[in-house]
């Protein structure tokens, strides 16, 4: 879900970071000594190295407000985070508080690995009204809330002004439709120079999870029982990308994009437009040369306007020895102060309502309001109890259609079968 | 005279072939060095530049910012040395017994060792992790070291080595009444030095680059070895090539130094363990 | 197993010769030693043996058990008998990955003759700079796999990679080496060879250097030329080293994981968009995917169990065949 440049981290850490107070503090002592001032030690599991400075800063802020409490931010790199977390949960040694994402949430919640969080009463861990509703519901399972939204990402169309100027094409704006995207991408493509109009990779969050709802299609039924990959409208949303590659020849081929990531092509100035999630803004901003050349506009609309909304959440491990302290920490993380602090680092948009502005304001060269306004037409991120399993399938099958090895119909019909089978297994509780 | 001429005639083409091969072999590494001095922008530029436009050393500084490099360096050294020392002792003992002492069940036991050698490493992963967890060893040096102390490969290698040693000295010592351990310790082990050295260097190299196991057991960056620390540099799929290259070079350098310094012994060792059955 | 063929007969034969020389008295004493030796044997093997049993053999047993179960995402296993194996036999992805692994192994074995050529060249009398060559060829062996993969991905890049730039200078149109289903296996195997050639070369060079010079002198007195000397002296005397190298190489290639994983880009978020993914995926990669991402640990365990059996079988076959070509001095 996360893509980011180290430059961002370097920039961020010189901006605001101070080293974490080296803490091997007092060992876990769950005894509460008076209201709100519990002593103890918490571990906080995260996977993004670029957000570590921000997370450590926030943790230190929490420690300061709770003398006798230490928080240890534990980084597990992307590749092994989920493997490691699952094994740790099985053995009872997971971090007290950790990051969660949409595709994995269902599995953890369903298996009772997460601590339910109060959303009302005298001391709620979160108030639903403080966060975008789709994000709150992404982390609700069978009517129970398990996660406090941490950040969110929306998708928008990033473009290279230099290439537009050279081709004498007007910059994209909110009025663009798919047809405008296609026509202009063709005009921007300049094969002699190795420049392409737009990147059409097999990316879920950035590409087809947006175009599918834009075309009026769907990925998974609301009851999480059926795959939507055979729906005509869904196919329309997928065909956009395939056509951009093969029919309009305005995108690099899938092989080219496998060899060189489209985001990287965009950074090196050979791609005029790319669909990017908001977390890449900081990456683009960190590159001085690039910063001056690029900007952002809303995604062109199909039948309707839509962006898939995804965001991480902070969750508590069900078997933490310190449930009360963990609740306090998670409440703090979702609070206004921690959210504003997080936004200042620029690496993620804080999920709490009304705290996103500093994120956009930190990079004034870009029209980042586009990413924030996208919340108005956001659609929830497709998920089920074991989303990770079928998302694996969907990229694999769709890649065959993108590359032209299979027709879209062939690929999606195999995909529908495979996904429905996995969903059926999910219901039987097999994994 | 004629012989030297013939020899000269063979040597020159040999040099050409060897040099060509060496250039091809080393090129990717040279590219790694060059990339480590490029700015990120330059590293993704198309077409790529060969030499950096200006030699940017900041990537090396960034490695130190991104991971606790010094700490991880120490972890790596300690882990590699402890694993190597333990393997040398334990493997040599077992190997000597397999090579020289007859006892019931030897064949079966040796087969058990060989079986381990053939098992895909991934097969051990989960049960090993569970053992570490039940011992409370996660995020510790023990977790890095202990499973790596035992090696079926080392035993196999040293057994071959011992079998190639002349038996006469040992026979004589035993006729003088020395017990097998004394014979092993005083006579066989010193003779086996080249083999031990070879195994030692191999174990050291493998431990140094070992990635999967450290990533699984030790999540605390302060407890990680370099390999795992550098993997965390690949925090996202948009890898910052120059920094990754710089980090990898820094991490690889000590191993290269060890190899270059000890390559003579290494090769001698391999020659003896040399698989003359 | 046929390993015995190699270890078994050695001891009685040698012992008998030795004792014949020293006489009856020795034989009597030796018998007494041997009785006590038994316990020394167990004692010396115990530390390594126990460690291997606890950390390696027992996990194997556990994994075999897992392969007969279905796992909940967080523990809790259900016995399902051979169901995982039935699924496996019917799974085209498994067969494809097996084929990929087989092809990779075959291609990487081609590195052995290459190493042999290099070793023979390096062993030429009067060649200077051997140490330098040895070091250069060995460098890839010690370099970290993660870095190696990134560099090679760079080199193989279809649009801007150095390889295609070099080829186009020769008038050849390159392809997208690591994202073309037709080339991925070769691309990966080349890196596999690159990373192992130095290692094999050093083993073989060591073997060459341990061949006594008088063998060659005798052969040349018999009028054998260079080529014949190679086939009548070098090859037979090197055959144990070649055998060892081949056995290890096969075992390691069948288990190949990190190199292919990283070159295909499976560590990146959108790896599955690689159209060559299916053609590149190895058995251990499939295991990794099933066991750790698809939450099918039991099925993953079944995959590695099958791989284990295959490796055992192939190794056994090699040990059996060694009698035909391996010559122990």
pLDDT at B270 over 90: no
d(CA B189, CA A201) in angstroms, rounded, equals: 60
Chain C residues close to A399, C-beta within 8 Å: 272-275, 277
Residues B27 and B147 in one domain: no
**Shared domain check, B25 and B154:** no
pLDDT digits (tens, 9 = 90+) for C85-96: 999 999 999 999
Region of B53 please: left (phi>0), alpha (psi -120 to 50) or beta: alpha
Assess contact for A43 and A328: CB atoms under 8 A.
no
Domain boundaries, chain A: 6-153+310-354, 155-308
Q: B129: nearest CA in chain A?
A: A87
Tokens of C181: 């289903």
CB distance A377 to A306 below 8 Å? yes
Give me the pLDDT at residue C16, please: 47
pLDDT value of residue A278:
94
- The confidence score (pLDDT) of residue A91 equals 76
Q: Which residues of C touch A405 (CB under 8 A)?
A: 181, 275
Is A83's Cβ below 8 Å from some Cβ in C? Answer: yes
Same fold, A6-153+310-354 and A155-308: yes
Q: pLDDT per position in chain A (431 positions), as tens?
A: 443 433 343 333 333 333 333 333 333 333 333 344 567 899 999 988 788 899 999 999 999 999 999 999 988 876 678 877 887 888 788 999 999 999 899 989 988 999 999 998 888 999 999 999 999 999 999 999 999 999 999 999 999 999 999 999 999 999 999 999 999 999 999 998 889 999 999 999 999 999 999 999 999 999 889 999 999 999 999 999 999 999 999 999 999 898 888 988 898 889 999 999 998 898 899 888 899 999 999 999 999 999 999 999 999 999 999 999 999 999 999 999 999 999 888 889 999 999 998 899 989 999 999 999 999 999 999 988 888 778 878 888 999 999 998 999 999 999 999 999 989 988 876 54
Q: Is the dihedral of CA C127, C132, C135, C138 positive or negative?
A: negative
Q: Note the pLDDT of residue C268.
A: 62
Looking at the domain assignment, is residue B44 inside a domain? no
Q: Domain total for chain B? A: 2
Establish if A121 touches chain B: CB-CB under 8 angstroms.
no
Same domain flag for C16 and C124: no
**Which of the four pLDDT bands, split at 50, 70 and 90, describes residue C213?**
confident
Q: For A389, left (φ over 0), alpha (ψ -120 to 50), or beta? A: alpha
| Model pLDDT for residues C137-168, shown as the tens digit of each residue | 988 887 877 668 778 887 888 877 778 888 88
Q: Are residues B15 and B144 in the same domain?
A: no
Yes or no, beta carbons of B216 and A263 under 8 Å apart: no
Q: How would you class A259 by CB atoms within 10 Å of its CB: exposed for 0-12, middle for 13-18, buried for 19 or more?
A: buried
What confidence score (pLDDT) does residue A3 get? 39
Same domain, yes or no, for B24 and B117? no
Q: What is the mean pLDDT of chain C?
A: 83
Q: Label residue C261 by pLDDT band (50, 70, 90).
A: confident
Of B16-25, C14-23, C71-80, C156-165, which range is least confident? C14-23
Considering only residues B206 and B231, tell me which one the structure prediction assigns the higher pLDDT: B206
C-alpha distance from A292 to closest chain C C-alpha (Å):
25
Mutant choice from B219, B227, B241, B246 vs A, greatest count of A C-beta within 10 A: B219
Distance from CA of B124 to the nearest CA of C (A): 5
SS3 A147: strand
Q: What is the pLDDT of residue A41?
A: 93
A133 to chain C, any CB pair closer than 8 A? The answer is: no
Residue C29 and residue C110 in one domain: no
Question: Which pLDDT band, with edges at 50, 70 and 90, does B277 fall under?
Answer: very low
B32 and B72 housed in the same domain:
no
Is residue B50 in some structural domain? no
In a domain, C59, yes or no: no
pLDDT tens across C32-66, in order?
555 567 888 899 999 999 999 999 999 989 989 98
**Partner C, chain B 61-120, Cβ-Cβ below 8 Å:** 90-91, 93-94, 96-98, 101-104, 106-107, 109-120
Confidence of residue C318 (pLDDT cuts 50, 70, 90): very high
Which pLDDT score is estimated for B236?
45
Q: Which CATH class is domain A155-308?
A: alpha beta
Name the residue among C189, C180, C195 with its Cα closest to residue C107.
Answer: C189
Give which of B30, B153, B277 to mutate to test C binding, by max C Cβ within 10 Å: B277
DSSP label of A296: E
pLDDT per residue over C265-311, tens digit each? 766 666 677 888 889 999 988 988 887 777 788 898 899 899 989 99
DSSP strands (E only) in chain C: 69-71, 77-79
Q: At B66, which helix (H) or strand (E)?
A: helix B58-66
Same domain for C109 and C246: yes
Give chain A positions within 8 Å (CB) of C278: 396
Min Cα–Cα distance to chain B from A78, Å: 6
By the CB < 8 Å criterion, does A259 face chain C?
Answer: yes
Range of the domain at C16: 1-49
Residues B205 and B259 in one domain: yes
Give the pLDDT score at B267: 62
Residues B80, B7 share a domain: no
Instruction: Give yes or no: residues C156 and C45 share one domain.
Output: no
Is residue C181 predicted with pLDDT exceeding 80?
A: yes
Are C197 and C113 part of one and the same domain?
A: yes
C97 and C205 both lie in a single domain? yes
Q: Are residue C140 and residue C285 in the same domain, yes or no?
A: yes
Q: Does A65 touch chain B (CB under 8 A)?
A: no
Same domain for C129 and C180? Answer: yes
Query: Taking CB atoms and an 8 Å limit, are A392 and C294 in contact across chains?
Result: yes
What SS3 class is residue A355? coil
Instruction: Using a CB–CB cutoff of 8 Å, tell me whether A357 touches chain B.
Output: no
Q: Quote the crossing angle between the two packed helices C184-209 and C235-254, to the nearest 10°.
A: 140
| Tens digit of each residue's pLDDT (9 = 90 or more) over C164-177 | 888 888 888 888 99
Considering CB atoms only, which of A86, A89, A396 is closest to C272?
Answer: A396
**Would the pLDDT of B254 be above 80?**
yes
For residues A163 and C208, the model is more confident at A163
Token representation of residue C311? 């490796």
Same domain, B14 and B90: no
B87 and B208 share one domain? yes
The pLDDT assigned to B46 comes to 61
Q: Residue B79 sits in a domain of what CATH number?
A: 1.10.3720.10
Distance to chain B for C270, nearest Cα, Å: 8
Please tell me whether residues B72 and B31 are part of one structural domain: no
Its domain, for residue B105, covers 66-273
pLDDT, position A34:
38
Amino acid B120: pLDDT: 72
Model confidence at B5, pLDDT cuts 50, 70, 90, reads low
Q: Hey, are the CB atoms on B123 and C304 less than 8 Å from each other?
A: yes
pLDDT digits (tens, 9 = 90+) for B144-199: 999 999 999 899 888 988 888 888 888 888 888 888 888 899 989 998 888 888 88
Neighbors of chain A by Cβ distance (3+ pairs < 8 Å): B, C
Residues C96 and C170 in one domain: yes
CATH assignment of the domain containing C150:
1.10.3720.10
**In chain B, what residues touch C150 (CB-CB under 8 Å)?**
239, 241, 244-245, 248
Percent of chain C residues topping a pLDDT of 90: 31
DSSP 8-state assignment for residue B75: H
Pair B26, B79 in one domain: no
Mark whether B15 and B142 lie in a shared domain: no
Query: What is the count of structural domains for chain C?
Result: 2
Q: Closest partner residue to B97 among C45, C56, C131, by Cβ?
A: C45
Nearest CA to CA, how far is C257 from chain B (Å)? Answer: 9
> Given pLDDT bands bounded at 50, 70 and 90, which one contains residue B256?
confident
- Is the pTM higher than 0.95? The answer reads no
Residue B248 and residue C147 in contact, taking contact as beta carbons nearer than 8 Å: yes
Instruction: List phi, psi (to 5°) of A389.
Output: -65, -50
Q: Answer whether B46 sits within 8 Å of A268, measured CB to CB.
A: yes
Question: Alpha helices of A177-322 — where are they, by DSSP H?
Answer: 178-188, 209-214, 232-242, 254-259, 262-267, 281-286, 288-293
Residue B235 scores a pLDDT above 60: no
Let me know if domain A6-153+310-354 sits in CATH 3.40.50.10860. no
Selection from A407-411, B57-61, C176-180, C259-263 with the highest mean pLDDT: A407-411
Give a yes or no: residue C72 inside a domain: no
Q: Find, among B9, B12, B270, the residue nearest to C208 by Cα.
A: B270
The answer to the question of residue B81 being in a domain is: yes
- Give Cβ neighbours of residue B69 (< 8 Å, ≥ 6 apart): B63, B226, B229, B250
Phi, psi of A353 (to 5 degrees): -55, 135
Which tokens go with A33? 């000594």
Q: Answer whether B122's CB lies under 8 Å from C287's CB.
A: yes
Is the sign of the CA dihedral A88, A91, A93, A96 positive or negative?
positive
């Amino acid at each position: 879900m996360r893509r980011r440049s180290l430059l961002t981290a370097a920039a961020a850490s010189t901006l605001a970071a101070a080293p974490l107070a080296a803490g091997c503090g007092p060992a876990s002592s769950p005894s509460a000594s008076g209201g709100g001032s519990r002593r103890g030690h918490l571990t906080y599991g995260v996977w993004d190295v670029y957000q570590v400075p921000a997370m450590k800063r926030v943790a230190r802020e929490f420690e300061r407000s709770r003398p006798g409490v230490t928080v240890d931010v534990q980084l597990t790199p992307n590749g092994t985070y989920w493997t490691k977390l699952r094994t740790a949960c099985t053995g009872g040694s997971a971090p007290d508080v950790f990051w969660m994402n949409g595709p994995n949430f269902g599995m953890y919640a369903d298996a009772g690995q997460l601590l339910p969080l109060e959303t009302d009463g005298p001391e709620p861990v979160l108030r639903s009204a403080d966060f975008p509703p789709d994000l709150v519901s992404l982390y609700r399972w069978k009517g129970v809330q398990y996660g406090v939204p941490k950040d969110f990402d929306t998708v928008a169309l990033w473009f290279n002004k230099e290439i537009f100027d050279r081709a004498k094409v007007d910059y994209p704006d909110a009025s663009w439709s798919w047809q405008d995207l296609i026509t202009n991408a063709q005009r921007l493509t300049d094969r002699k120079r190795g420049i392409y109009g737009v990147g059409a990779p097999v990316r879920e969050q950035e590409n087809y999870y947006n175009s599918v709802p834009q075309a009026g299609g769907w990925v998974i039924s609301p009851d999480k029982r059926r795959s939507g990959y055979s729906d005509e409208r869904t196919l329309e949303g997928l065909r956009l990308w395939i056509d951009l590659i093969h029919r309009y020849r305005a995108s690099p081929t899938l092989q080219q994009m496998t060899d060189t990531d489209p985001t990287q092509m965009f950074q090196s100035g050979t791609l005029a437009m790319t669909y990017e999630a908001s977390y890449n803004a900081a990456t683009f901003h960190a590159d001085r040369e690039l910063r001056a050349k690029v900007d952002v506009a809303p995604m062109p609309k199909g039948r309707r306007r839509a962006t898939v909304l995804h965001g991480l959440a902070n969750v508590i491990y069900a078997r933490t020895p310190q449930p009360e302290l963990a609740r306090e920490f998670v409440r703090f993380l979702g609070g206004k102060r921690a959210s504003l602090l997080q936004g200042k680092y620029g690496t993620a948009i804080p999920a709490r309502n009304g705290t996103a502005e500093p994120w956009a304001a930190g990079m004034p060269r870009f029209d980042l309001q586009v990413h924030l306004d996208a919340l108005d037409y956001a659609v929830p991120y497709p998920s089920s109890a074991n989303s990770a399993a079928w998302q694996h399938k969907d990229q694999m099958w769709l890649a065959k259609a993108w590359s032209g090895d299979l027709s879209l119909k062939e690929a999606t019909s195999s995909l529908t079968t495979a996904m429905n089978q996995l969903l059926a297994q999910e219901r039987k509780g097999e994994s | 005279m004629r012989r030297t001429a013939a020899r000269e005639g063979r040597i020159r083409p040999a040099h050409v072939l060897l040099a060509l091969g060496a250039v091809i072999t080393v090129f990717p590494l040279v590219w790694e060095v060059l990339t480590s001095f490029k700015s990120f922008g330059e590293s993704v530029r198309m077409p790529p530049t060969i030499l950096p436009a200006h030699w940017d050393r900041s990537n090396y500084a960034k490695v130190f910012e991104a991971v606790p490099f010094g700490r991880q360096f120490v972890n790596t050294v300690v882990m590699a040395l402890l694993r190597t020392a333990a393997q040398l002792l334990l493997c040599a003992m077992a190997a000597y017994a397999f090579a020289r002492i007859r006892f019931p069940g030897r064949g079966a036991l040796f087969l058990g060792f060989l079986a381990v050698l053939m098992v895909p490493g991934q097969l051990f992963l989960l049960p090993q992790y569970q053992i570490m967890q039940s011992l409370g060893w996660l995020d510790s040096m023990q977790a890095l070291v202990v499973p790596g102390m035992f090696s079926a490969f080392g035993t196999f290698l040293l057994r071959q080595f011992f079998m190639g040693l002349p038996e006469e000295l040992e026979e004589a010592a035993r006729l003088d009444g020395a017990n097998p351990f004394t014979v092993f310790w005083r006579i066989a082990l010193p003779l086996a030095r080249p083999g031990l050295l070879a195994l030692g260097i191999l174990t050291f190299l493998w431990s140094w680059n070992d990635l999967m196991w450290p990533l699984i057991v030790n999540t605390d960056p302060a407890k990680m070895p370099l390999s795992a620390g550098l993997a965390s540099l690949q925090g996202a799929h948009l890898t910052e090539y120059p920094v990754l290259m710089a980090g990898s070079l820094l991490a690889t350098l000590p191993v290269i130094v060890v190899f270059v310094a000890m390559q003579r012994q290494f090769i001698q060792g391999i020659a003896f363990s040399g698989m003359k059955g | 197993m046929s390993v015995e063929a190699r270890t078994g007969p050695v001891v009685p034969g040698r012992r008998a010769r030795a004792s014949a020389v020293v006489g009856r008295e020795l034989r009597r004493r030796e018998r007494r030693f041997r009785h006590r030796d038994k316990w020394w044997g167990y004692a010396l093997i115990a530390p390594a043996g126990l460690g291997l049993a606890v950390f390696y053999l027992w996990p194997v047993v556990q994994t075999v058990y897992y392969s007969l179960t279905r796992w909940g995402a967080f523990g809790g296993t259900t016995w399902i008998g051979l169901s995982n194996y039935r699924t496996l036999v019917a799974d085209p992805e498994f067969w494809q990955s097996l084929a990929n692994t087989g092809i990779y192994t075959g291609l990487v074995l081609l590195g052995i003759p290459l190493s042999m050529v290099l070793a023979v060249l390096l062993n030429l009398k009067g060649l200077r700079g051997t140490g330098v060559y040895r070091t250069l060829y060995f460098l890839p062996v010690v370099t970290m796999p993660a870095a190696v993969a990134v560099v090679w991905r760079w080199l193989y890049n279809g649009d801007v990679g150095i390889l295609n730039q070099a080829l186009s200078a020769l008038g050849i149109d390159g392809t997208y080496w690591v994202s073309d289903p037709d080339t991925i296996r070769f691309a990966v195997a080349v890196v596999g060879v690159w990373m192992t050639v130095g290692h094999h070369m050093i083993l073989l060079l060591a073997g060459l250097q341990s061949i006594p010079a008088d063998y060659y002198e005798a052969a040349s007195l018999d009028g054998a030329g260079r080529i014949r000397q190679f086939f009548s002296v070098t090859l037979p005397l090197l055959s144990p080293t070649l055998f060892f190298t081949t056995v290890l190489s096969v075992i390691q290639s069948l288990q190949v994981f990190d190199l292919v994983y990283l070159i295909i880009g499976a560590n990146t978020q959108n790896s599955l968009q690689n159209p060559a993914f299916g053609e590149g995926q190895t058995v251990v990669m499939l295991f990794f995917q099933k066991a750790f991402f698809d939450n099918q640990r039991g099925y993953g365990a079944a995959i590695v169990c099958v791989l284990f059996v295959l490796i055992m079988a192939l190794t056994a076959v090699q040990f059996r065949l060694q009698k035909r070509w391996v010559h122990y001095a």
